[in-house]
Amino acid sequence: MGEMKYYYPMNLDISKFNCLIVGLGKVGQRKLATLIQFHPKTITILDPIASLPDKFKTYSFINFQQKHFEPEDLQDKELIFACTSNPKLNSFIAHLALKHKLLVNNITEPKEGNFILPAVLKKQDIQISISSSGLSPALVKYLKKEINELIGPEYEVCTKILGTIRPLLLNLKLPVEKRSEMFNNLVSSLIPLLRKKDVGAIKTLLTRALPKELSPYIGEILNECLF
C-alpha cells in the first residue's frame, strides 16, 4: 500500500485565475462544466482532435485551441487539469506544473498532482463538499445523495435570513463572542420554524433575539427572504 496523502480543504476564489484544461474528452468536459460555474478569469482548452461542444461556445472567457500540449502553455496559468487519455502525458503535465508551483490535477494519477476535486452539493448559497481523499468515489456518491435528502429548502431560506442580518449586526460593533452566540441560537431556533413555515413565530423569534436597533428591519428582512 502507498503512503496516504492528506488534502487541506478550502474554498478557492478563482475569479482571477487563468485555467488550463488539457484534453476535452468526457472527463475534460465535466471539469470544464464545473469550472464555468465558478467564473474563472479565463479557461484555455487544448485538444488536438476534439472540437468544443456548442454548449460551451457562448462563454467569452473560454479559449479553445486544437493543438497538442507544449510546456509554454503553462505560462500565465494558475490552475491546471491534465485530462488526456494518455497517462504518460498527464504525468508529464503534472510534474511540469508542480515544478512551476502551480495547482494541478492529474485525472489518471491523482497523487501526482497537488489537489483533487470533491463532490459538491450546491443548493443556492449552501455548498457542501464531500471527499474520501480519493479512496472511495462510490462512498462519496452515496453520501452526496444522503446529505441531499437532509438539506431541505428551510436551510436555503435560513441562509438568506442570516446573510441579510449579518451586515446589520456587524454595523453595531458588537463583541465577536456576542455575535457568534446570537447566530448560533438563531440557527437552532429558526430551522424548526422555517420547516413549519410559521411566519408569526419567526417574526417573534427575530424580534426577541436581535438587538432592538434592528427591530425596524425585521419586516423588510422577512418580506425579502421568506419562501
Asked if residue 128 and residue 158 are part of one domain, the reply reads no
Asked if residue 182 and residue 208 are part of one domain, the reply reads yes
97 in any annotated domain: yes
Range of the domain at 216: 153-225
For the segment 27-74, what is each residue's pLDDT rounded down to a tens digit? Answer: 999 999 999 999 999 999 999 999 999 999 999 999 999 999 999 999
Reported confidence tier of residue 4, pLDDT bands at 50, 70, 90:
confident
1 in any annotated domain: no
Distance separating alpha carbons of residues 208 and 196, to the nearest angstrom: 19
Q: What percent of the chain has pLDDT over 90?
A: 81
Residue 56 corresponds to which amino acid? F
Beta strands 79-82 and 18-22 are parallel
79 in any annotated domain: yes
Distance separating alpha carbons of residues 51 and 64, to the nearest angstrom: 8
13 in any annotated domain: no
**What nine digits make up the cell of 166?**
449579518
Asked if residue 112 and residue 38 are part of one domain, the reply reads yes
Asked if residue 169 and residue 96 are part of one domain, the reply reads no
Q: How many domains does the structure of the chain reveal?
A: 3
Q: CA 147 → CA 114, 119, 144, 167, 172, distances in Å?
A: 27, 12, 5, 29, 36
199 in any annotated domain: yes
Of 99, 128, 150, which closes a domain? 150
Asked if residue 78 and residue 30 are part of one domain, the reply reads yes
Asked if residue 103 and residue 164 are part of one domain, the reply reads no
Asked if residue 194 and residue 221 are part of one domain, the reply reads yes
9 in any annotated domain: no
